[in-house]
Amino acid sequence: MAKPLWAPWRLEYIEQADEYEGCVFCREAADEIPESESLVVVRGETAFAILNKFPYSSGHLMVAPLRHEGALEGLTDAEALELHRLSVGALAALGRAYGPDGFNLGWNLGRVAGAGITDHVHLHVVPRWSGDTNFMPVLADVKVLPEHLFATRERLREAWPSR
């Protein structure tokens, strides 16, 4: 049985979710969201790293191309390379900021594969700790996040390796 979890930032997101048209990744990529509300941790030339609004654990990042692309095979070589480099940077920043014991990295391609956003490819980078629940039960149960997303964003920006 799931336990209730108080997360006030989620209600604000849910209430505003229908107000926006288009892709959340594209809005962030186009700088349409005020800096104080943006969850972008780092922006590259063709891709960026952004915090997940519905994280599996503190520090859960997603790395996505700036360009709207729904298929992994549709990425350019430059985008694929920068996505990889940002993923490596995410591992380093998360390691410095949180000291996790491991990581899950994964692509959810298609709704049946678990993709919540199917039309803009993105790679999940999820920090993991010994003793936490495994990936699937987190989807069906409750995970307590001890830090607000904006505080996490600032921590990871500070910990991100220099380029």
> CA-CA distance, 127 to 152, in Å (whole number)?
13
Q: Mention every residue, 6+ apart, whose C-beta is less than 8 A from residue 77.
A: none
Name the nearest CA neighbour of 58 among 128, 157, 133: 128
Q: If you write DSSP's letter for every residue of 95-114 in order, what string do you get?
A: HHHH--SEEEEEE--SGGGT
Which residue is it, tokens 């915090």?
A: 51
Grouping H, G, I as helix, E, B as strand and the rest as coil, residue 67 is: coil
List C-alpha distances in Å: 131 to 18, 86, 101, 102, 128. 37, 27, 10, 11, 9
Q: Mention every residue, 6+ apart, whose C-beta is less than 8 A from residue 110.
A: 118
Instruction: Please give the single-letter amino acid code of residue 145.
Output: L
Would residue 122 show up in a list of annotated catalytic residues for this protein?
yes
Please tell me which residue in 68, 122, 124, 148 is annotated as part of the active site. Answer: 122
So which residues are the catalytic ones? 122
